[in-house]
Amino acid sequence: MPGLGDLERSVMDVLWDSHEARSAYDVQNALAADSERPLAATTVLTVLSRLEKKGFVRRERVERPHRYSAVASREDHMAELMHEVLGGADDRQAVLARFVGQVSPAEAEALRKLLSAN
């Protein structure tokens, strides 16, 4: 249930950026584009397996190159993380107060709209 490591997060980013299911090779190539040294195929597979075990990634074993996809969208994931933080608070309202106190005016306005849209 812990968070994500650096490489794990990079892999999630790849899956999030291409909204379809991807093979391990796709992920490997996408990662290679960003960094000099390419990762071994097994490394990518290991990370994907760990992400699956953690519940962040879904794997389709139908075709031979298995396809992987993110369980939740990046936005849902992040919103969930924020709720997790908030969940550990005894005084949620106080935390929310501090939180909205630090958002930019533009974002405050956006929040107002979101909340009134109801």
Partner DNA sequence: AGCTATTTCTACGCTCTGTAGAACTCGTTC
Partner DNA sequence: GAACGAGTTCTACAGAGCGTAGAAATAGCT
Among 25, 38, 55, 92, binds its own copies (CB under 8 A): 92
Q: Tell me: does residue 35 bind its own copies (CB under 8 A).
A: no
How far apart CA 59 and CA 70 sit, in angstroms, is 9
Question: In what helix (H) or strand (E) does residue 36 lie, and over which residues does it extend?
Answer: none
Among 1, 3, 20, 62, binds its own copies (CB under 8 A): 3
Question: Count of H helices and E strands in the chain?
Answer: 6, 3
With CB cut-offs between 5 and 8 Å by kind, which of its own copies, DNA, none does residue 93 bind?
its own copies
Classified as helix, coil or strand, 108 is: helix
Q: How far is the CB of 45 from its own copies (least distance, A)?
A: 25
Q: How far is the CB of 43 from its own copies (least distance, A)?
A: 22
With CB cut-offs between 5 and 8 Å by kind, which of DNA, its own copies, none does residue 19 bind?
none
Q: What would the two tokens of residue 76 be?
A: 């849902």
> For the window 26-65, what string marks contact with DNA as x by the rule CB under 7 A?
-----------x-xxxxx-xxx-xx----------x--xx
Q: What would the two tokens of residue 81 be?
A: 């993380």
How far apart CA 112 and CA 106 sit, in angstroms, is 10
